[in-house]
Structure 1
Amino acid sequence: MFSFELLQKAMALFDLNIQQPFVTDLGFDMNQEPVHMFDLNVAAPVESVQRKDASEVVLNQVFQELLRRSKNGVLPRNATSEVAVMYNLGIRTVQRCWAEGKLSLDLGIMVSFASKKRGKCGRKPSPVNYERLRNVPLKERTTLEDSAKVLGVCKRTLLKHVKQGKVRRHTSSIKPHLTDENKKSRLQWCVDMLEHETLHDNPRFKSIFDHVFIDEKWFFITRKSERYYLLPDEDEPYRTCRSKNNIPKLMFLCATARPRFENGICTFDGKIGCFPLVTFERAKRSSINRPAGTMEVKPITSIKRDVVREFMIQKVLPSIKAKWPREDVNKPIYIQQDNAPSHIEVNDPMFCEAAQQDGFDIRLTCQPANSPDFNILDLGFFRAIQSIQYKKSAKTVQDLIPVVQEAFHEYPPCKANRMYLTLHQVLKETMKVHGSNKYNLPHMKKGTLERQGSLPVQVHCERSLVYEAMQKLATWNI
């Protein structure tokens, strides 16, 4: 039978008022407040996966993959999720990539996934008071160091502002001084260069296919200083000269006309000739370099009117008659020159007699005084061929002649053709400032237009500008 003593012992085991040893061993204290293992008021920590921004290359690959899966511009179900897993990207990133790319295709523009953070992230720049630079004389801000000191920034910060367009670098060149009479003649020249039959409808400048531009220029064997790009282990070039102010040079008389093209093929390059103003004499004495009797090149030290007349009649005119397009032989040809004292008169009898021979009608004209910007050669052609000439080696004056002539013929006719459009722009801007030479040439993007096959032959002019120029001329004539 179940005894009473066993019952008391069993009840004692479950007496909560008695401290039980096994409770202490397990580490639970019933006298303390209960501790909740799971607090519902505290959010459970979530492990965040931070992805780097997808690069432009990756986004392009994502868009190409989505295009491959799409049908008629519609993606199948779960396509964005699968592509997101494939490239380890967020689904929203893939969806945004698809939306932006599809919108670009609908608008007919190039799809681009370039980062939009450039220039909008990082430390904010410190404010700079640019008006402080305006109040400083120009002579005191000719270098980056001076300008940075005025603005209170370092040179590196100022250079960054220059690249951003907040401060601009300008090189000022001295231009010819113009009197009122010079401005009047320049403005009249610009109006005369317009096609008269288009003045009342859609004015445009003459194509100038019937003009030959001539001028003289000094060409030096080398420059005082040249810049080279060398490897770290290359030796630096060592150049010497007896006098930096007396570098050997030659004067050349150049004549050029506007190139002509037919279906994109050059039919006439416009290179009339590049003639050195030298004489050839035999050496009277022997030297280390050559024996007596050797033919030597002697520069013409004094360029006078008789010398220019001789070169015009014996060099320029025969070259024009030999190279001029046959279909325009019977049309007038105008040789434009500046007003240098050594140039011949427009009605020089010896020149006019030679110019009217062989069925040609060649006439001489003079551009306005103090107007080198109205001549193609001074406008840019001389500078272009000189840059080519400096890339060639010439040790003596005699070696300089073929070097300059090679540079003259190597210059591409397509680039020479662009200069004539630049001349049209010069005439147009001169009309805007009433004959002055204080103007800024706008960019036409001639290279882009030429690649697109839409380069114009003539530049148009607004009728209001023509009317304003004529009114100004009428005011001056009163």
Structure 2
Amino acid sequence: MVTTCVNVTKNVYRDMLIKNVLPRIMDVLPPSTNRKRIILQHDNAPAHVPWNDVEIMAVFNELTSTGSDFSIAPQPPNSPDTNVLDLGFFASIQSLQYKHVPRSVDELVSCVMLEFDKYSMAKLSKIWQSLQLVLLEIVKAKGGNDFKLPHASKDRNARCGKLLDNAVCDKDAYQEAIEHLNSEDALSMEAALKKEVDELRAENDLIDLLEGAALNDPDVDDNQLDALCLAAGLHILVM
């Protein structure tokens, strides 16, 4: 059997969720008598399915019989990085994989799996502490992302046995963040976020349409392409 590369389209992404991701989540989910709410969050890449994808929603409905409440939530554009994978783990394991020289897709997969299996708990602990420090900075920035990534001398603290399991939030910063939230209009913020996500989704849908259009096909004329762009709220400037 030969491993081949495929373009990640919505159909490929949807199949991966249905056939791999969701079954694996159910396998590792701890048993509980309480209903479990599980949110799958992804960014607004063109291949990512929308939150109301019909096929995904049908699978979610089937899983309600297990006591699990699944949903998809898009990551707000320009949001702070609160995902531990994107924040540090992916870049870290990629740098380790770069030490190898794979000559095929199978060798590349083997290299990544090798480094994944060798990855130390000490490194994971430092990445988790970085995430906690970022969360504290987000609180101080009142939900914004205009801050520098904090440095906490994690290597030195680890050698001295002073690497904390949990970061501690400053009481004043916490109180200021609470007061800021209470002063904001939640409905207006949600409406603005929905508008921003919808606009980005429209742009991604346009990309999908253009990728699927046979641009050199005489049956696809400029008027059709203009209509696609206008449907997405974009205007073409002809020079």
TM-score range, shorter chain: 0.5 to 0.7
Question: Partner residue of 1:317?
Answer: 22
TM-score (norm 1): 0.33
Q: Call closer, same or farther: CA 1:385–1:328 in 2, change over 3 Å.
A: farther
Any residues of structure 2 matched to 1:204-283 within 5 Å, and which? none
Deviations 1:243-300 (CA, angstroms, capped at 9, x unpaired): xxxxxxxxxxxxxxxxxxxxxxxxxxxxxxxxxxxxxxxxxxxxxxxxxxxx332222
Q: Call closer, same or farther: CA 1:385–1:440 in 2, change over 3 Å.
A: same
Question: Could you tell me whether the CA contact under 8 Å between 1:385 and 1:407 is conserved in 2?
Answer: yes
Question: Could you tell me whether the CA contact under 8 Å between 1:317 and 1:355 is conserved in 2?
Answer: no
Question: Partner residue of 1:298?
Answer: 4
TM-superposed CA distance for 1:306, in Å, is: 2.3
TM-score (norm 2): 0.61
Deviations 1:143-180 (CA, angstroms, capped at 9, x unpaired): xxxxxxxxxxxxxxxxxxxxxxxxxxxxxxxxxxxxxx
The letter of the residue matching 2:12 is V
Deviations 1:413-442 (CA, angstroms, capped at 9, x unpaired): 332233222122112212323443231233
TM-superposed CA distance for 1:330, in Å, is: 6.1
TM-superposed CA distance for 1:311, in Å, is: 0.4
- Residue number among 68, 71, 88 corresponding to 1:380 in the alignment: 88
Question: Partner residue of 2:204?
Answer: none
Question: Could you tell me whether the CA contact under 8 Å between 1:372 and 1:378 is conserved in 2?
Answer: no
Question: Could you tell me whether the CA contact under 8 Å between 2:79 and 2:144 is conserved in 1?
Answer: no
The letter of the residue matching 2:85 is L
Deviations 1:327-351 (CA, angstroms, capped at 9, x unpaired): 7996444433223232233354134
- Residue number among 150, 172, 192 corresponding to 1:442 in the alignment: 150
Q: Distance in 1 between matches of 2:157 and 2:62?
A: 41
Gaps of 5+ in 2: 189-239
SS of 1:335's partner is strand
Any residues of structure 2 matched to 1:31-42 within 5 Å, and which? none
Q: Distance in 2 between matches of 1:298 and 1:360?
A: 35
C-alpha RMSD of matched pairs (Å): 3.2
Q: Distance in 2 between matches of 1:390 and 1:422?
A: 23
Task: Work out which of the two has the higher radius of gyration on C-alpha atoms and give 1 or 2.
Answer: 1
Any residues of structure 2 matched to 1:105-184 within 5 Å, and which? none
The letter of the residue matching 1:296 is V
Aligned: 1:425 with 2:150: no
Q: Call closer, same or farther: CA 1:350–1:446 in 2, change over 3 Å.
A: farther
Question: Could you tell me whether the CA contact under 8 Å between 2:44 and 2:74 is conserved in 1?
Answer: yes
Aligned: 1:415 with 2:160: no
Question: Could you tell me whether the CA contact under 8 Å between 1:334 and 1:362 is conserved in 2?
Answer: yes
Identity fraction in percent:
34
Q: Distance in 2 between matches of 1:350 and 1:463?
A: 45
SS of 1:460's partner is coil
Gaps of 5+ in 1: 1-294
SS of 1:299's partner is coil
Query: Larger helix proportion, structure 1 or 2?
Result: 2
Question: Partner residue of 2:169?
Answer: 461
Query: Larger strand proportion, structure 1 or 2?
Result: 1
Deviations 1:382-419 (CA, angstroms, capped at 9, x unpaired): 11111121122311223222222322333223322332
Q: Distance in 2 between matches of 1:296 and 1:430?
A: 46
Deviations 1:300-339 (CA, angstroms, capped at 9, x unpaired): 22x2222212101111122223334557996444433223
Question: Partner residue of 2:98?
Answer: 390
Q: Distance in 2 between matches of 1:403 and 1:329?
A: 40
Structure 1 stretch displaced more, 378-387 or 448-457? 448-457
The letter of the residue matching 1:394 is P
The alignment covers a number of residue pairs equal to 183
Higher relative contact order (CA 8 A, sep 6+): 2
Question: Partner residue of 1:162?
Answer: none
